[in-house]
Structure 1
Amino acid sequence: MPAASSRFCVATVLLLLSVTSAARAEGDGGFSYIPGTPNGPENWGNLKPEWATCSTGKRQSPINLDSLQLTLAPGLGYLNYTYQNAKASVVNHGNEIKVRFDGDAGSLVINHTAYHLRQMHWHTPSEHTIDDRRYDMELHMVHLNAQNEAAVIGILYDVGFRRDKFLYKLEPYIRKIANQKDKEVLVHGGVDPNIAKGPLDNIYYRFMGSFTTPPCTEGSPRLLSRRCALYRSTSLHFSGQPCSTVSRTTRGPFRT
Structure 2
Amino acid sequence: MITISSSSLLHILLLALFFSLCPIAKPQELENESEFSYIDGSPNGPEHWGDLHPEWATCSRGMMQSPIDLAYERVIVDQSLGKLRRNYKATNATLKNRGHDIMLEWTGDAGNLLINGTVYFLKQVHWHSPSEHAINGKRYALEAHMVHQSQDQKIAVVGIIYKIGAPDPFLKKLKDYIQQIGSSGMQEIDVGVVNPRHVQQNIGRNEYYRYMGSLTTPPCTEYVTWTIIKKIETVSWAQVNLLRDAVDDDAANNARPLQPINERFIKLYIPFKALQSLEPYTISF
Q: Does 1:62 align with 2:67?
A: yes
Tell me the equivalent position of 1:195.
Answer: 198
Deviation at 1:28, TM superposition (A): 4.5
Q: 1:204: how far off?
A: 2.5
Q: Relative to 1, partners in 2 of residues 1:36 and 1:198: Cα closer, same or farther, differing over 3 Å?
A: same
Matched, 1:232 2:240: no
- Structure 1 residue 216 displacement after superposition: 0.9
* Count, aligned residues: 234
Task: Look up the match of 1:33.
Answer: 38
Q: Percent identity?
A: 41
Higher-helix-fraction structure: 2
Pick aligned residue for 1:24 from 22, 29, 47: 29
Contact 2:159 2:226 in 1 (8 A): no
Residue deviations 1:74-121 (CA, integer Å, cap 9, x gap): 122221101122111111122221111111211101122211111111
Matched residue, 2:283? none
Contact in 2 for aligned 1:171/1:235 (Cα 8 Å): no
Distance in 1, Cα, partners of 2:126 & 2:225: 21
Q: 2: CA distance between counterparts of 1:90 and 1:221?
A: 25
For 1:52 and 1:221, locate their aligned partners in 2 and report how far apart those are by CA, in whole Å. Answer: 20
1:206 to 207, 210, 214: 210
User: Aligned residue for 1:157?
Assistant: 162
1:156 deviates by 0.8
Aligned 8 A contact 1:27 1:213 in 2:
no
Contact kept? 1:63, 1:250, Cα under 8 Å? yes
* 8 Å Cα contact 1:25/1:211 also seen in 2: no
Q: In terms of Rg, which structure is larger? A: 2
Instruction: Give secondary structure in 1 for the equivalent of 2:194.
Output: coil
Asked if 1:183 is matched to 2:191, the reply is no
Shift of the 68–246 alpha-carbon distance from structure 1 to 2, 3 Å rule, reads same
Which structure carries more relative contact order (alpha carbon 8 Å, separation 6+)? 1
The verdict on how the C-alpha distance between 1:113 and 1:21 changes in structure 2, with shifts beyond 3 A counting, is farther
Deviation at 1:179, TM superposition (A): 4.1
Q: Which residue in the other structure is 2:54 paired with?
A: 49
CA drift at 1:175: 0.2
Taking structure 1 as the reference length, what is the TM-score of the superposition?
Answer: 0.83
Q: Equivalents in 2 of 1:97, 1:240: separation in Å?
A: 7
Amino acid at match of 1:109: L
What is the CA deviation profile of residues 18-48 of structure 1, one whole-angstrom value per residue up to 9, with x for unaligned ones? xx74322576541111111111111111111
- Matching of residue 113 in structure 1 with residue 118 in structure 2: yes
Question: 1:166-193 CA distances to partner (integer Å, 9 max, x unpaired)?
Answer: 01100000000114555222114x1111
Asked whether the 8 Å contact 2:120–2:150 carries over to 1, the reply is yes
Which of 170, 178, 198 is 2:174 aligned to?
A: 170
User: Contact between 1:236 and 1:243, CA under 8 Å: does it hold in 2?
Assistant: no
Instruction: Mark the runs of 5 or more structure 1 residues left unpaired by the alignment.
Output: 1-19
Q: Mean Cα displacement is larger for which, 174-183 or 230-239?
A: 230-239
CA shift in 2, pair 1:240/1:119, >3 Å: closer
Q: Name the SS of the counterpart of 2:38 in structure 1.
A: coil
Provide the rounded CA distance (Å) in 2 between the counterparts of 1:147 and 1:106: 16
Structure 2 length as normaliser, TM-score? 0.75
Instruction: Note if 1:104 corresponds to 2:112.
Output: no
The CA distance in 1 between the partners of 2:185 and 2:126, in whole Å, is 15
> 8 Å contact 1:64–1:128 — kept in the other structure?
yes
How far 1:252 moved relative to its partner? 3.5
